[in-house]
Protein backbone atom coordinates (compact mmCIF):
# COMPACT_ATOMS: atom_id res chain seq x y z
CA UNK A 1 0.00 0.00 0.00
CA UNK A 2 1.04 3.61 -0.49
CA UNK A 3 0.12 5.43 2.70
CA UNK A 4 0.25 9.12 3.57
CA UNK A 5 0.83 9.96 7.24
CA UNK A 6 0.03 13.42 8.60
CA UNK A 7 1.35 14.21 12.08
CA UNK A 8 2.98 16.81 14.27
CA UNK A 9 6.73 16.55 13.76
CA UNK A 10 7.62 17.29 17.39
CA UNK A 11 8.88 15.05 20.21
CA UNK A 12 5.29 14.69 21.51
CA UNK A 13 3.77 11.22 21.79
CA UNK A 14 1.45 11.49 18.79
CA UNK A 15 4.30 12.48 16.47
CA UNK A 16 6.57 9.79 17.91
CA UNK A 17 3.92 7.12 17.49
CA UNK A 18 3.05 8.22 13.94
CA UNK A 19 6.73 8.17 12.95
CA UNK A 20 7.40 4.75 14.46
CA UNK A 21 4.26 3.46 12.74
CA UNK A 22 5.44 4.76 9.37
CA UNK A 23 8.88 3.21 9.81
CA UNK A 24 7.30 -0.08 10.93
CA UNK A 25 4.86 -0.12 7.99
CA UNK A 26 7.71 0.50 5.55
CA UNK A 27 9.50 -2.55 6.96
CA UNK A 28 6.32 -4.53 6.16
CA UNK A 29 6.65 -3.54 2.49
CA UNK A 30 4.42 -0.43 2.36
CA UNK A 31 5.51 2.88 0.89
CA UNK A 32 5.14 5.73 3.38
CA UNK A 33 4.79 9.46 2.73
CA UNK A 34 5.00 11.73 5.79
CA UNK A 35 3.39 15.14 5.33
CA UNK A 36 4.10 17.83 7.94
CA UNK A 37 5.61 21.28 8.41
CA UNK A 38 8.95 19.80 9.50
CA UNK A 39 10.71 16.46 9.26
CA UNK A 40 9.40 14.36 12.21
CA UNK A 41 11.90 14.34 15.09
CA UNK A 42 12.11 10.55 15.21
CA UNK A 43 12.67 10.31 11.45
CA UNK A 44 16.33 11.02 11.96
CA UNK A 45 17.96 8.64 9.52
CA UNK A 46 17.33 7.13 6.09
CA UNK A 47 14.67 4.44 5.83
CA UNK A 48 13.90 2.60 2.62
CA UNK A 49 10.45 3.44 1.21
CA UNK A 50 9.92 6.34 3.61
CA UNK A 51 9.50 9.83 2.13
CA UNK A 52 8.90 13.24 3.66
CA UNK A 53 6.94 16.10 2.08
CA UNK A 54 7.33 19.46 3.77
CA UNK A 55 4.39 21.83 3.97
CA UNK A 56 5.66 25.34 3.49
CA UNK A 57 3.81 28.20 5.08
CA UNK A 58 2.53 30.98 2.85
CA UNK A 59 3.30 34.41 4.25
CA UNK A 60 1.49 37.55 3.12
CA UNK A 61 1.22 40.90 4.93
CA UNK A 62 -2.56 40.57 5.16
CA UNK A 63 -2.30 37.35 7.18
CA UNK A 64 -1.64 37.64 10.87
CA UNK A 65 -1.39 33.83 10.90
CA UNK A 66 -0.20 31.80 7.92
CA UNK A 67 -3.09 29.60 6.67
CA UNK A 68 -1.42 26.26 7.57
CA UNK A 69 -4.61 24.23 7.20
CA UNK A 70 -5.03 25.33 3.59
CA UNK A 71 -1.36 24.74 2.76
CA UNK A 72 -1.53 21.28 4.33
CA UNK A 73 -4.71 20.45 2.38
CA UNK A 74 -3.11 21.47 -0.91
CA UNK A 75 0.02 19.47 -0.10
CA UNK A 76 -2.05 16.36 0.67
CA UNK A 77 -3.98 16.73 -2.61
CA UNK A 78 -0.69 17.11 -4.48
CA UNK A 79 1.02 14.11 -2.83
CA UNK A 80 -2.03 11.85 -3.24
CA UNK A 81 -2.25 12.66 -6.95
CA UNK A 82 1.42 12.46 -7.79
CA UNK A 83 2.47 9.58 -5.56
CA UNK A 84 -0.78 7.65 -6.12
CA UNK A 85 -1.52 7.18 -2.43
CA UNK A 86 -4.06 4.53 -1.49
CA UNK A 87 -4.93 5.97 1.90
CA UNK A 88 -4.27 8.80 4.35
CA UNK A 89 -3.70 8.24 8.08
CA UNK A 90 -3.87 11.39 10.20
CA UNK A 91 -2.65 11.60 13.79
CA UNK A 92 -4.25 14.05 16.24
CA UNK A 93 -7.69 15.28 15.20
CA UNK A 94 -6.89 19.00 15.17
CA UNK A 95 -6.55 20.21 12.47
CA UNK A 96 -5.54 17.02 10.70
CA UNK A 97 -8.90 15.24 10.54
CA UNK A 98 -10.66 18.36 9.24
CA UNK A 99 -7.91 18.99 6.70
CA UNK A 100 -8.14 15.36 5.56
CA UNK A 101 -11.90 15.78 4.99
CA UNK A 102 -11.30 18.85 2.86
CA UNK A 103 -8.56 17.07 0.85
CA UNK A 104 -10.87 14.10 0.35
CA UNK A 105 -13.62 16.37 -1.02
CA UNK A 106 -11.21 18.13 -3.40
CA UNK A 107 -9.90 14.79 -4.65
CA UNK A 108 -13.47 13.57 -5.19
CA UNK A 109 -13.91 16.35 -7.77
CA UNK A 110 -10.93 14.88 -9.61
CA UNK A 111 -12.36 11.37 -9.57
CA UNK A 112 -10.07 10.12 -6.78
CA UNK A 113 -11.35 8.39 -3.67
CA UNK A 114 -9.11 8.88 -0.61
CA UNK A 115 -9.92 6.74 2.45
CA UNK A 116 -9.04 8.58 5.66
CA UNK A 117 -8.07 6.99 8.97
CA UNK A 118 -7.93 9.26 12.02
CA UNK A 119 -6.11 8.35 15.23
CA UNK A 120 -7.16 10.23 18.36
CA UNK A 121 -4.27 10.72 20.75
CA UNK A 122 -5.46 12.58 23.81
CA UNK A 123 -5.70 16.30 24.26
CA UNK A 124 -7.26 16.57 20.79
CA UNK A 125 -10.29 15.16 22.65
CA UNK A 126 -9.81 15.74 26.37
CA UNK A 127 -8.52 19.30 26.36
CA UNK A 128 -8.15 21.25 23.11
CA UNK A 129 -10.95 19.42 21.30
CA UNK A 130 -13.56 20.44 23.83
CA UNK A 131 -12.96 24.13 23.48
CA UNK A 132 -16.06 25.67 21.94
CA UNK A 133 -13.92 27.24 19.24
CA UNK A 134 -13.01 23.77 17.93
CA UNK A 135 -15.55 21.20 19.20
CA UNK A 136 -17.97 21.17 16.25
CA UNK A 137 -15.14 20.71 13.74
CA UNK A 138 -13.63 17.88 15.81
CA UNK A 139 -16.97 16.06 16.03
CA UNK A 140 -17.74 16.55 12.33
CA UNK A 141 -14.33 15.42 11.10
CA UNK A 142 -14.30 12.34 13.34
CA UNK A 143 -17.67 11.34 11.92
CA UNK A 144 -16.46 11.94 8.35
CA UNK A 145 -13.31 9.81 8.68
CA UNK A 146 -13.56 6.36 7.11
CA UNK A 147 -12.11 4.78 10.24
CA UNK A 148 -11.20 6.18 13.65
CA UNK A 149 -8.87 4.68 16.20
CA UNK A 150 -8.20 5.62 19.79
CA UNK A 151 -4.98 4.89 21.70
CA UNK A 152 -6.80 3.60 24.80
CA UNK A 153 -10.20 2.42 25.90
CA UNK A 154 -10.42 5.34 28.30
CA UNK A 155 -9.96 7.80 25.41
CA UNK A 156 -12.58 5.93 23.38
CA UNK A 157 -15.08 6.30 26.22
CA UNK A 158 -14.25 9.96 26.73
CA UNK A 159 -14.65 10.67 23.01
CA UNK A 160 -18.04 8.98 23.01
CA UNK A 161 -19.17 10.89 26.07
CA UNK A 162 -18.01 14.34 24.93
CA UNK A 163 -19.15 14.18 21.30
CA UNK A 164 -22.03 12.83 19.28
CA UNK A 165 -20.07 10.05 17.58
CA UNK A 166 -21.72 8.06 14.81
CA UNK A 167 -18.79 5.74 14.11
CA UNK A 168 -17.29 2.74 15.84
CA UNK A 169 -14.05 3.79 17.49
CA UNK A 170 -11.43 1.03 17.39
CA UNK A 171 -8.99 0.87 20.29
CA UNK A 172 -5.45 0.29 19.02
CA UNK A 173 -2.95 0.76 21.81
CA UNK A 174 0.30 2.60 21.31
CA UNK A 175 3.30 0.39 20.69
CA UNK A 176 7.01 0.27 21.21
CA UNK A 177 10.14 -1.17 19.64
CA UNK A 178 11.17 -3.61 22.35
CA UNK A 179 14.66 -4.14 20.91
CA UNK A 180 15.44 -0.46 21.11
CA UNK A 181 13.70 0.02 24.46
CA UNK A 182 15.38 -2.63 26.57
CA UNK A 183 17.61 -2.22 29.60
CA UNK A 184 21.27 -1.88 28.70
CA UNK A 185 22.88 -0.32 31.74
CA UNK A 186 26.05 1.62 31.12
CA UNK A 187 27.64 1.72 34.60
CA UNK A 188 30.05 4.52 33.73
CA UNK A 189 27.14 6.63 32.49
CA UNK A 190 25.19 5.82 35.65
CA UNK A 191 28.15 6.85 37.77
CA UNK A 192 28.24 10.22 36.06
CA UNK A 193 24.82 11.02 37.53
CA UNK A 194 24.96 8.98 40.72
CA UNK A 195 28.65 8.79 41.76
CA UNK A 196 27.86 7.42 45.22
CA UNK A 197 25.42 4.73 44.17
CA UNK A 198 22.35 6.92 44.68
CA UNK A 199 19.02 5.72 43.29
CA UNK A 200 17.87 7.50 40.11
CA UNK A 201 14.38 8.78 39.35
CA UNK A 202 13.42 9.85 35.84
CA UNK A 203 10.60 11.90 34.36
CA UNK A 204 10.20 12.74 30.70
CA UNK A 205 7.58 15.03 29.19
CA UNK A 206 6.94 18.11 27.11
CA UNK A 207 6.78 20.23 30.29
CA UNK A 208 3.24 21.35 29.70
CA UNK A 209 0.93 22.20 32.61
CA UNK A 210 -1.04 18.99 32.05
CA UNK A 211 2.09 16.97 33.01
CA UNK A 212 2.28 18.46 36.54
CA UNK A 213 6.09 18.36 36.57
CA UNK A 214 6.00 20.32 39.84
CA UNK A 215 4.58 17.17 41.49
CA UNK A 216 7.67 15.26 40.35
CA UNK A 217 9.82 17.80 42.18
CA UNK A 218 7.64 17.61 45.32
CA UNK A 219 7.80 13.80 45.35
CA UNK A 220 11.56 14.01 44.89
CA UNK A 221 11.92 16.48 47.79
CA UNK A 222 9.97 14.17 50.09
CA UNK A 223 12.06 11.16 49.09
CA UNK A 224 15.29 13.07 49.46
CA UNK A 225 14.50 13.64 53.12
CA UNK A 226 14.68 9.83 53.53
CA UNK A 227 17.48 8.79 51.20
CA UNK A 228 20.15 9.94 48.77
CA UNK A 229 18.89 10.07 45.25
CA UNK A 230 19.02 11.91 41.94
CA UNK A 231 16.34 13.15 39.59
CA UNK A 232 16.78 13.32 35.82
CA UNK A 233 14.26 15.50 33.99
CA UNK A 234 14.13 14.91 30.24
CA UNK A 235 12.32 17.13 27.75
CA UNK A 236 11.49 20.77 27.45
CA UNK A 237 8.48 23.01 27.22
CA UNK A 238 6.59 26.00 28.57
CA UNK A 239 6.82 25.03 32.27
CA UNK A 240 10.55 24.39 32.35
CA UNK A 241 11.50 27.80 33.73
CA UNK A 242 8.90 27.55 36.52
CA UNK A 243 10.19 24.10 37.45
CA UNK A 244 13.80 25.31 37.51
CA UNK A 245 12.73 28.14 39.84
CA UNK A 246 10.92 25.65 42.08
CA UNK A 247 14.09 23.55 42.35
CA UNK A 248 16.13 26.66 43.25
CA UNK A 249 13.58 27.74 45.84
CA UNK A 250 13.83 24.37 47.58
CA UNK A 251 17.63 24.16 47.19
CA UNK A 252 17.56 20.78 45.48
CA UNK A 253 19.31 21.83 42.27
CA UNK A 254 22.50 19.88 42.89
CA UNK A 255 20.57 16.60 42.79
CA UNK A 256 18.42 17.41 39.78
CA UNK A 257 19.63 17.30 36.19
CA UNK A 258 17.64 19.03 33.47
CA UNK A 259 18.68 17.10 30.37
CA UNK A 260 16.44 18.82 27.80
CA UNK A 261 15.28 17.02 24.67
CA UNK A 262 17.09 13.74 24.09
CA UNK A 263 17.16 11.34 21.15
CA UNK A 264 18.64 8.25 22.81
CA UNK A 265 16.08 8.27 25.58
CA UNK A 266 16.42 4.51 26.14
CA UNK A 267 20.02 5.00 27.33
CA UNK A 268 18.84 7.32 30.09
CA UNK A 269 15.83 5.18 30.99
CA UNK A 270 18.26 2.26 31.35
CA UNK A 271 19.88 4.09 34.29
CA UNK A 272 16.63 4.65 36.16
CA UNK A 273 15.20 2.93 39.22
CA UNK A 274 11.80 4.61 39.03
CA UNK A 275 9.76 6.69 36.57
CA UNK A 276 7.24 9.30 37.72
CA UNK A 277 4.30 10.48 35.61
CA UNK A 278 1.86 12.52 37.72
CA UNK A 279 -0.18 13.95 34.79
CA UNK A 280 -3.54 15.60 35.18
CA UNK A 281 -4.64 14.01 31.91
CA UNK A 282 -3.01 11.16 30.00
CA UNK A 283 -4.81 9.18 27.34
CA UNK A 284 -2.14 6.47 27.26
CA UNK A 285 1.28 7.50 28.57
CA UNK A 286 3.74 6.41 25.89
CA UNK A 287 6.61 7.71 28.02
CA UNK A 288 5.55 5.35 30.87
CA UNK A 289 5.54 2.44 28.41
CA UNK A 290 9.04 3.35 27.21
CA UNK A 291 10.22 3.30 30.83
CA UNK A 292 8.51 -0.01 31.57
CA UNK A 293 10.12 -1.60 28.51
CA UNK A 294 13.49 -0.59 30.03
CA UNK A 295 12.46 -2.35 33.28
CA UNK A 296 11.61 0.81 35.14
CA UNK A 297 8.56 0.65 37.44
CA UNK A 298 6.18 3.61 37.24
CA UNK A 299 4.54 5.80 39.86
CA UNK A 300 1.75 7.57 38.01
CA UNK A 301 -1.57 9.23 38.46
CA UNK A 302 -4.60 7.00 38.00
CA UNK A 303 -6.09 9.12 35.25
CA UNK A 304 -7.19 8.39 31.65
CA UNK A 305 -5.52 5.41 30.00
CA UNK A 306 -2.70 5.09 32.54
CA UNK A 307 -4.36 2.19 34.42
CA UNK A 308 -4.45 0.28 31.10
CA UNK A 309 -0.65 0.51 30.90
CA UNK A 310 0.67 0.77 34.46
CA UNK A 311 -0.82 -2.01 36.58
CA UNK A 312 -1.40 -1.16 40.23
CA UNK A 313 0.83 -3.17 42.58
CA UNK A 314 2.53 -5.02 39.68
CA UNK A 315 4.35 -2.66 37.36
CA UNK A 316 4.11 0.33 39.69
CA UNK A 317 1.52 2.29 41.63
CA UNK A 318 -1.38 4.54 40.68
CA UNK A 319 -2.27 7.56 42.81
CA UNK A 320 -4.87 10.32 42.67
CA UNK A 321 -3.80 13.39 40.72
CA UNK A 322 -1.84 15.69 43.05
CA UNK A 323 -1.46 13.14 45.87
CA UNK A 324 2.30 13.65 46.19
CA UNK A 325 2.37 12.11 49.69
CA UNK A 326 1.08 8.79 48.40
CA UNK A 327 3.37 8.97 45.36
CA UNK A 328 6.38 9.50 47.67
CA UNK A 329 5.30 6.69 50.03
CA UNK A 330 4.88 4.22 47.19
CA UNK A 331 8.18 5.29 45.65
CA UNK A 332 9.93 4.77 48.99
CA UNK A 333 8.36 1.33 49.35
CA UNK A 334 10.02 0.28 46.10
CA UNK A 335 13.32 2.10 46.45
CA UNK A 336 13.99 0.68 49.92
CA UNK A 337 13.23 -2.92 49.03
CA UNK A 338 15.58 -4.36 46.40
CA UNK A 339 13.63 -7.60 46.10
CA UNK A 340 10.32 -5.83 45.51
CA UNK A 341 11.96 -3.41 43.10
CA UNK A 342 13.41 -6.28 41.13
CA UNK A 343 9.99 -8.02 40.91
CA UNK A 344 8.36 -4.80 39.71
CA UNK A 345 11.15 -4.34 37.16
CA UNK A 346 10.44 -7.75 35.64
CA UNK A 347 6.67 -7.17 35.72
CA UNK A 348 7.12 -3.83 33.96
CA UNK A 349 9.03 -5.41 31.09
CA UNK A 350 6.54 -8.30 30.86
CA UNK A 351 3.59 -5.90 30.64
CA UNK A 352 5.40 -3.83 28.00
CA UNK A 353 5.69 -6.95 25.80
CA UNK A 354 1.91 -6.70 25.20
CA UNK A 355 2.51 -3.41 23.39
CA UNK A 356 5.15 -4.68 20.96
CA UNK A 357 5.16 -3.22 17.46
CA UNK A 358 4.79 -6.80 16.20
CA UNK A 359 1.42 -7.07 18.02
CA UNK A 360 0.07 -3.63 17.22
CA UNK A 361 1.14 -2.64 13.68
CA UNK A 362 -0.88 -5.47 12.03
CA UNK A 363 -3.98 -4.04 13.74
CA UNK A 364 -3.50 -0.80 11.80
CA UNK A 365 -2.90 -2.77 8.58
CA UNK A 366 -6.21 -4.54 9.16
CA UNK A 367 -8.02 -1.21 9.53
CA UNK A 368 -6.41 0.03 6.29
CA UNK A 369 -7.49 -3.14 4.45
CA UNK A 370 -11.07 -2.79 5.61
CA UNK A 371 -11.14 0.86 4.49
CA UNK A 372 -9.85 -0.08 1.05
CA UNK A 373 -12.40 -2.92 0.70
CA UNK A 374 -15.27 -0.62 1.78
CA UNK A 375 -14.18 2.12 -0.62
CA UNK A 376 -13.90 -0.39 -3.50
CA UNK A 377 -17.46 -1.54 -2.86
CA UNK A 378 -19.00 1.93 -2.54
O1 LIG B 1 -2.30 15.20 23.63
C2 LIG B 1 -1.24 15.81 23.80
O3 LIG B 1 -1.05 16.73 24.60
C4 LIG B 1 -0.12 15.51 22.94
C5 LIG B 1 0.06 14.09 22.58
C6 LIG B 1 1.37 14.19 21.98
O7 LIG B 1 1.45 14.45 20.81
O8 LIG B 1 2.30 14.05 22.76
O9 LIG B 1 0.06 13.17 23.69
C10 LIG B 1 -0.98 12.26 23.69
O11 LIG B 1 -0.66 11.23 22.79
C12 LIG B 1 0.32 10.28 23.22
C13 LIG B 1 0.52 9.26 22.10
O14 LIG B 1 -0.66 8.60 21.79
C15 LIG B 1 -0.16 9.62 24.52
O16 LIG B 1 0.80 8.67 24.95
C17 LIG B 1 -0.31 10.71 25.60
O18 LIG B 1 -0.83 10.10 26.76
C19 LIG B 1 -1.27 11.77 25.11
N20 LIG B 1 -1.21 12.90 26.04
C21 LIG B 1 -2.23 13.22 26.83
O22 LIG B 1 -3.28 12.63 26.84
C23 LIG B 1 -1.99 14.38 27.72
Residue 127: pLDDT above 90?
no
Confidence of residue 2 (pLDDT cuts 50, 70, 90): very high
User: What pLDDT is stored for residue 26 in this prediction?
Assistant: 98
Domains 2-175+356-377 and 187-355 in one fold: yes
Q: Assess whether the C-beta atom of 12 lies below 6 angstroms from ligand 1.
A: yes
pLDDT band at 372 (very low <50, low <70, confident <90, very high): very high
Superfamily of domain 2-175+356-377, CATH level 4:
Glycogen Phosphorylase B; (3.40.50.2000)
- pLDDT tens string 56-76: 988 888 888 889 999 999 999
Q: Is the CB of 125 under 6 A from ligand 1?
A: no
Is the per-residue pLDDT at 377 higher than 60? no
Amino acid 233: pLDDT: 97
pLDDT at 121: 96
Nearest protein Cα to ligand 1, atom 19: 122
Closest C-alpha to ligand 1, atom 12: 13
Cα of 161 from ligand 1 centre, angstroms = 19
Quick one: average pLDDT of 278-295?
Answer: 97
308 alpha carbon to ligand 1 midpoint, in Å? 15
Q: 107 CA to middle of ligand 1, Å?
A: 30
Q: How far is CA 329 from CA 24, 137, 219, 225, 334, in A?
A: 40, 44, 9, 12, 9
pLDDT at 294 over 90: yes
pLDDT at 251 over 80: no
What pLDDT sits at residue 57?
86
The domain locations on the chain are: 2-175+356-377, 187-355
Q: Is 272 helix (H, G, I), strand (E, B) or coil?
A: coil
123 CB within 6 A, ligand 1? yes
Q: Average model confidence (pLDDT) for the chain? A: 95
Q: Is the CB of 210 under 6 A from ligand 1?
A: yes
Q: pLDDT by residue (tens digit) across 210-219?
A: 999 999 999 9
| Ligand 1 centroid to residue 193 C-alpha, Å | 29
Q: What is the pLDDT of residues 187-206, one digit of tens each?
A: 888 999 999 999 999 999 99
The predicted model scores a pTM of 0.93
284 lines ligand 1 (CB under 6 A): yes
Assign residue 119 a region (left: φ > 0; alpha: ψ between -120 and 50; beta: otherwise): beta
Is the distance from the beta carbon of residue 34 to the nearest atom of ligand 1 less than 6 Å? no
Q: For residues 302 and 319, give the distance between their C-alpha atoms in angstroms, rounded to a whole number.
A: 5
Where does 187-355 sit in CATH, by number? 3.40.50.2000
Query: How far is C-alpha 117 from the geometric centre of its chain's CA atoms?
Result: 18
pLDDT, position 158: 95
Among left, alpha and beta (phi > 0; psi -120 to 50; other), residue 212 is: left
Residue 228: predicted pLDDT: 94
Q: How confident is the model at residue 129, as a pLDDT?
A: 76
User: Separation of 109 CA from ligand 1 center, angstroms?
Assistant: 35
Nearest ligand 1 atom to alpha carbon 283: 22
Q: Is the CB of 15 under 6 A from ligand 1?
A: yes
Amino acid sequence: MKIGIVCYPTYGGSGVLATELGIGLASHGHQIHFISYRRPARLNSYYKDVYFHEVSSFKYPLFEHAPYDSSLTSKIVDVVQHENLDLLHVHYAIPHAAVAYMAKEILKTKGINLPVVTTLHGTDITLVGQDQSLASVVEFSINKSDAVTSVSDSLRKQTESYFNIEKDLAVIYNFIDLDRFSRKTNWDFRKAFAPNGEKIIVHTSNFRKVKRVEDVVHVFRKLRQQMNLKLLLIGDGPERQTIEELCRKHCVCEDIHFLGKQDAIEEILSLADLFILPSENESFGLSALEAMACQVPVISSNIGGLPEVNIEGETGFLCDVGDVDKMANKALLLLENEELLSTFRKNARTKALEFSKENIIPQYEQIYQSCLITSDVS
